[in-house]
Homo-oligomer: A and B are copies of this chain.
Amino acid sequence: MSEDAFLATYDPDAYGRLALTVDVVLLGLRDGRPAALLLKRDEHPQAGHWALPGGFVGVAETLDAAAGRVLREKAGLSGLHLEQLYTFGAPGRDPRMRIVSVAYLALLPEAAFTAAGRNGAGLLPAIIDVPWAGEAGGPVALRDAAGGGPLTLAFDHADILALAMLRLRGKLDYSGVGFALLPERFTLRQLQDVHETILGTPLNKPAFRRRMLDRGWLEPTGAREAGTSFRPPELYRCRKP
């Protein structure tokens, strides 16, 4: 049998049905803490629970494209840093059927984060409390950024979020990923704040400064931050992340 003949008779259902989704962790900073944007499920299953924005993968759609579409449709955002995180496929993770989910991590600068939380899409900013130090990993706790009440997520989304924090911590200091959490132009202090917030550790200022400048990823703009009542810091731009 030729390959063409084989393809003509191929039965797509021979190996059982399953569905594929993407779930996107919308991560940003809020009040000096890591935070994520959550969506209240208004359909079954688990209607009324908080969850990561997600959606089914279209049959002719790249996984990256599906994640980008979710970002656009559910949060009205585009052009963000977006990377694949991990694929979650435990058989019982969704009661509908076998649903395998490719998790993505999206990083939002502070302005985009607060804007997305207010644009009427129903996205809830939730503070992420990371109880472990370094890159030990483990569960994280969530609470409403406004109210403070603890939140529980639908499905296995808490695991996804925890993995996102772990991955971000791991990549932060060797991979310019931190710039994705800052505006186009930023000060070294802001960059340090981002790192301290994600890592959950205070960092030494001169050492951090030196390390970042020695990396060669930063480009001074010549401009300085306005509106300060003290010496205005230089604004930098990211060159290579």
Contacts and interface: CB of A to CB of B under 8 A. Distances in A.
A122 interface: no
Nearest to A45: B3
Contacts of A3: 44-47, 95
Interface residues of A, number: 38
A7 B44 contact: yes
A43 B14 CA distance: 15
A207 interface: no
Contacts of A95: 3, 7
Nearest to A97: B12
A200 B15 CA distance: 41
B62 A20 contact: no
Number of copies: 2
A63 interface: yes
Contact of A87 (B58, B63, B96): B63
B90 A87 contact: no
Interface of A is mostly: loop
Interface string A52-84: 000011111111000000000000000000001
B20 A17 contact: no
Given A1-B44, A44-B6, A45-B3, A63 B16 contact: no
Contacts of A91: 59-62
B15 A56 contact: yes
A37 interface: no
